[in-house]
């Protein structure tokens, strides 16, 4: 059998996409809308407490385009916690005004393509830990898409020897690194969990950097030959400050 990549696995991850039923939202009185927003904000404050305690992280964005209106990215130590959050959200009054459009279940993943040989336990390494259990940046923009590596005739990623895969991943990593400080990426693995093999989540203050990075990678062998991509979602951050105007009628 071919040598499988070894992975380090961190927090479990749920991406949850909803459209908002604005016509129904508009029929409410402003007092009712305010109560519903308050309940939603209370839930977000709970998430903040968890994040501050280092037990998870989250991101809330307004999605551009018709695929969704709002998205949550949630990271937690267990799948049970993600499920609890999802159920708790679905029981809020705000959820009555949302329609689920897409979701993605995965786990933060680091692979060993770039790792050196070392006897230390990577789970004890602070740099590794900060990537397995990341605090999601409060960047202006998010970009999410799921992807696979092709398994088709001669272009079968999973049949390539480890050395060839490592070489291609090195080139991939070098392009990625040239975006350091401009784009932060979180790769989550979803083999056995969802319909694609990975979720790619990118964060940037300058949204154009998503296009530049993804475009540059398309010309790099691992993406050019082996990358297969699902739908792309882009969004703008929702903060305590701009949430009221997002909900305002
Ligand atoms: O973890 C590391 O930093 C080591 C190098 C590295 C690995 C192993 C790395 C770096 N990535 C790795 C793995 Mn990546 N990445 C993507 C996409 O749109 C496309 O063409 C592909 C989508 C982007 C934009 C991106 C960005 N990466 C992976 C894997 C798992 C592969 C496997 O196991 O077979 C996937 C699916 C994937 C996809 N990558 C980086 C980036 C960026 C910005 C970096 C640099 C990170 C840094 O140095 O901080």
DSSP 109-126: EEESSSPPP--S-GGG-H
Residue 62 Cβ contacting ligand 1 at under 6 Å: no
pLDDT tens for the chain, 249 residues long, are 899 999 999 999 999 999 999 999 999 999 999 999 999 999 999 999 999 999 999 999 999 999 999 999 999 999 999 999 999 999 999 999 999 999 999 999 999 898 777 789 999 999 999 999 999 999 999 999 999 999 999 999 999 999 999 999 999 999 999 999 999 999 999 999 999 999 999 999 999 999 999 999 999 999 999 999 999 999 999 999 999 999 999
Q: What is the DSSP letter of 39?
A: H
Residue 160 Cβ contacting ligand 1 at under 6 Å: no
Complex prediction ipTM: 0.92
Distance CA 155, CA 178 (A): 27
Could you tell me the distance, in angstroms and rounded to a whole number, from the CA of residue 167 to the centre of ligand 1? 13
Question: Is 146 within any annotated ligand binding site?
Answer: yes
What is the structure's pLDDT at 118?
79
Q: Which residues are catalytic?
A: 145
Enumerate residues 6+ apart whose C-beta is below 8 A from 81.
12, 56
Residue 196 Cβ contacting ligand 1 at under 6 Å: no
Question: Is 148 within any annotated ligand binding site?
Answer: yes
Q: Which atom of ligand 1 is nearest to the CA of 110?
A: 1
**Structure tokens, 95:** 């959820």
Question: Is 137 within any annotated ligand binding site?
Answer: no
Residue 128 Cβ contacting ligand 1 at under 6 Å: no
Residue 207 Cβ contacting ligand 1 at under 6 Å: no
Could you tell me the distance, in angstroms and rounded to a whole number, from the CA of residue 171 to the centre of ligand 1? 10
Q: Bridge partners of 185? A: 202
What 3-state DSSP class applies to 184?
strand
Residue 232 Cβ contacting ligand 1 at under 6 Å: no
Closest residue CA from atom 33 of ligand 1: 111
What is the structure's pLDDT at 114?
82
Q: What is the DSSP letter of 135?
A: P
Q: What is the DSSP letter of 105?
A: E
Distance CA 16, CA 194 (A): 13
Mutate to test the pocket of ligand 1, among 122, 129, 200 (most ligand atoms within 8 A of CB): 200
What is the structure's pLDDT at 119?
82
């Amino acid at each position: 059998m071919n040598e499988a990549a070894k992975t380090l696995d961190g927090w479990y991850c749920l991406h949850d996409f909803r459209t908002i039923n604005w016509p129904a939202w508009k029929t409410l009185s402003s007092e009712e809308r305010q109560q519903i927003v308050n309940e939603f904000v209370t839930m977000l404050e709970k998430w903040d407490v968890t994040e501050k305690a280092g037990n998870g992280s989250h991101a809330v964005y307004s999605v551009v385009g018709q695929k969704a209106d709002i998205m949550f990215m949630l990271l937690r130590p267990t799948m049970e916690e993600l499920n609890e959050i999802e159920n708790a959200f679905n029981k809020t009054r705000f959820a009555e005004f949302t329609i689920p459009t897409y979701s993605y279940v995965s786990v933060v993943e680091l692979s060993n393509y770039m790792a050196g040989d070392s006897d230390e336990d990577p789970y004890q390494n602070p740099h590794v830990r900060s990537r397995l259990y990341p605090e999601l940046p409060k960047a202006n923009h998010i970009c999410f898409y799921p992807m696979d590596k092709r398994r088709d005739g001669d272009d079968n990623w999973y049949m390539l020897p480890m050395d060839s895969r490592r070489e291609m991943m090195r080139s991939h990593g070098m392009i990625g690194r040239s975006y350091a400080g401009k784009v932060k990426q979180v790769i989550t693995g979803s083999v056995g969990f969802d319909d694609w093999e990975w979720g790619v989540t990118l964060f940037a203050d300058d949204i154009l950097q998503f296009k530049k990075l993804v475009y540059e990678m398309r010309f790099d062998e691992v993406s050019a030959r082996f990358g297969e991509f699902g739908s792309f979602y882009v969004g703008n951050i929702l903060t305590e400050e701009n949430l009221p105007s997002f909900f305002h009628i």
